[in-house]
A and B are shown apart, each in its own frame.
Chain A
Amino acid sequence: MKLLQPNAQLDGFTIEECIHSGGMAHIYRVRYTEGAHDPGFALAMKIPRMTAGDGAETIVSFEVEHQIMQVLSGPHVPRFVAAGDLENVPYLVMEYVPGRTLAHWLETPERPDAAEIARLGAAVAQAAHSLHQQNTVHLDLKPANVLIRSDGSAVLLDFGLSCNALYPDLLAEQLRKAVGSPAWIAPEQVVGVRGDPRSDIFAIGVMLYELATGELPFGAPQTPGGLRQRLWMDPPPPRKLRPDLPEWLQEIILRCLEPEAAKRYPSAAHLAFDLRHPEQVTVTALGRNTAGTGFGTHFKRWLKAAGMHYQPSPLPAQKIEEVPIIMVAIPHKDVSDATLYSLRQAVARSLGTRPGARLACVTVISTNQTNSTSDDKSETSVHRRYLTNLRQWAQPLDMPGHQTSYHVLESGDVAQALLNYATGNQVSLIVMGAATHGMKMQRFANTVPIKVAMDAPCTVILVKQALPFELLIEQAAKLKPMWNRDLDAPF
């Protein structure tokens, strides 16, 4: 369709100006012609470019985007307003979101520092997670499709290649060639796998790599052979290109770019978590390496990659539900050993059935416990003491394969601090004591566990103190000598 001029009218909308003219579509600012239905936000209209020469793919992309935008909700996607009929004039009207695309940060000559890269990455990962929770995988994440609002949150655009597991995937076909933007698409997309949320994590990894180094990790290949390279090849480590980059950031970026999806972050919430807590990232050889991957490893992977082929994926929401972030609230005072023991048992049970889950151990201390004048009350030394307590509590859990992190929060309102933490980190399960966190206040309905259970964004397990403690000791002595060690823990 040819370019529309300002003041032109279409299906009750008046064109204001063309704000984007791309290969696939024109995007206009529009308003309701009548003015009567003011939706309370600005509007944008996307009109796909469809001429006689266009293949079925442009039409399918329009259908896919229409299908998916209608059902998505939340702050990380533009609100859907209206759509034009494919048989007359196809168009989509949606919320116009003010902000700058991630491309803006790449166009400036200076690279952002590690903290800013982490902030941008966490915003994108959080937006992707919100999409995955709605059974949708974006599959075309790239700087031009990520908008950053002035408050720092991210909005994802362009769902023309996306996949919603609740609807037939019009773009899926066995033995089909890859669909997506060559620079950012994940290895499994190259062989036609659609619907794996970890494909979006790969694309976020490519963007983080770009933000950090100014380079594309795999270039922008034009041939199928060039695209297949990422099935087995690691990109040069970012610190080789930019030595001042912290190891934790390289660790995160390269973990996103693992050729095998199973080696990447299992969910975007896990990625956001690491980007928000760099000090908790365990740096391995991946983060330290500045030399790159050797020929031998690449050759072995190349052989393995030769056999990769299309396979359908399970529901994204189900998949990320299997790798939750579990948060346990550990009281640091007024708590019995039996409660600490029972909390540990509950956490072990919750993690045991979920192999990829990660654990965040959290304690809330009151704000007046630290001050800057006395040395032993300085923030670092107080926090260090509580962090040690948390580690000691978690030590008997012995959890291979589970990432664990420790957090001391300062707040006068314990329940609110726990709730904020859970919301801010996409926690999917909170484990806490039923009778702790305010034992002295038991008679009042509004105890900390009740408040958390009522307002939590996720499931809450309230743990009751297990057996009478003396009995427990007897049993423990019979069963495992190790248990006695727990019970002596210095709380």
Chain B
Amino acid sequence: MKLALLSDIHANIQAFDACLSHAHAQGAQQFALLGDLVGYGANPLEVLDRVQTLAAGGALIIKGNHDEMAVTPPAEVAHVGSSTAAWTHAQLSPGQHSFLDHLPLTLQQGAVLLVHASVNDPERWRYVTDVRSASASLDAAADRPEVRYVFGGHVHHQTLYYRGAGAGLMPFKPTPGVAVPVPRHRHWLATVGSVGQPRDGNPQAMYALFDADKAQLTFLRVSYDHYAAAAAIRRAGLPAYFADRLEAGQ
């Protein structure tokens, strides 16, 4: 069974569609959306339409911090992250608010545990950026002994953390397109990167494909029309900064 893992779509319909069709072409049979469906981008309506169709088809969907903010936008714009929340909120229908509001923070399917940020207090949206924070997240999953894989997003980078011969967790930078063996007798934590807001200087969208039968995880990069996504942001009157960063992938 091939499970496509898409996170941090950020209302970028161009990137989302490109990744979905790429995953279909790769033989993905199930989809998991790891939160931050909206925020920053210009097409929250279209993205949520797609998401709700996927949900009806059995996709696994969890909540991210931007989804929470879109339901209850902060009264004051405290930082760049929350600056589009009110705009997003205004675009969405009450039904969509309710859909986002009812998303779970974590979901488990067999050996796979999905979380937007960290398993350790998922509602606090901790960033998994190093061995220490990755260990904290993986350790918090220890009370579910059948869990071998923790997949998340939030940090917009693709990294795999693993336990080898030693006790400590090790970070690994994957090469896109290489199927990495992730045997079930070990514990793995992956941050799958961002579909709609890549920030490593490469504008290509990121997602990952987990093949449960072969126990392989493939991190992927997909080209999409990021100029169109940036143009949509400018047209919507959102801060130009969000358009610029899509063009630069930063």
A residues near B (Cβ < 8 Å) are 56-57, 60, 63, 67, 86-87, 166-174, 176
Contacts and interface: CB of A to CB of B under 8 A. Distances in A.
Contacts of B164: 60, 168-173
6 contacts: A57-B165, A86-B185, A166-B178, A167-B178, A168-B180, A169-B170
Contacts of A172: 164, 170
Given A67-B181, A173-B170, A166 B175 contact: yes
B185 A87 contact: yes
B168 A167 contact: no
A60 B165 contact: yes
Query: Would you call the interface of chain A mostly helix, strand, loop, or mixed?
Result: loop
Contacts of A167: 172, 178, 180-181
B149 to A, nearest CB: 13
Interface of B: 160, 162, 164-166, 168, 170, 172, 175, 178, 180-181, 183, 185
A168 B131 CA distance: 14
Contact of B168 (A63, A168, A174): A174
A63 B183 CA distance: 9
Contacts of B170: 168-169, 172-173
Contacts of A173: 164-166, 168, 170
A148 B180 CA distance: 32
A193 B159 CA distance: 21
Given A166-B175, A168-B172, A172-B170, A86 B183 contact: yes
Contacts of A176: 165-166
Contacts of A67: 181
Given A86-B183, A87-B185, A173-B170, A168 B165 contact: no
Given A60-B165, A172-B170, 14 more contacts: A56-B165, A67-B181, A87-B185, A166-B175, A166-B178, A167-B172, A168-B162, A168-B172, A171-B164, A172-B164, A173-B164, A173-B166, A173-B170, A176-B166
Contacts of B168: 173-174
Nearest to A164: B178
A104 B180 CA distance: 38
A205 B55 CA distance: 61
Contact of A171 (B160, B165, B180): B165
Contacts of B172: 167-169
Contacts of B165: 56-57, 60, 170-171, 173, 176
A86 B184 CA distance: 10
A231 B168 CA distance: 27
B175 A168 contact: no
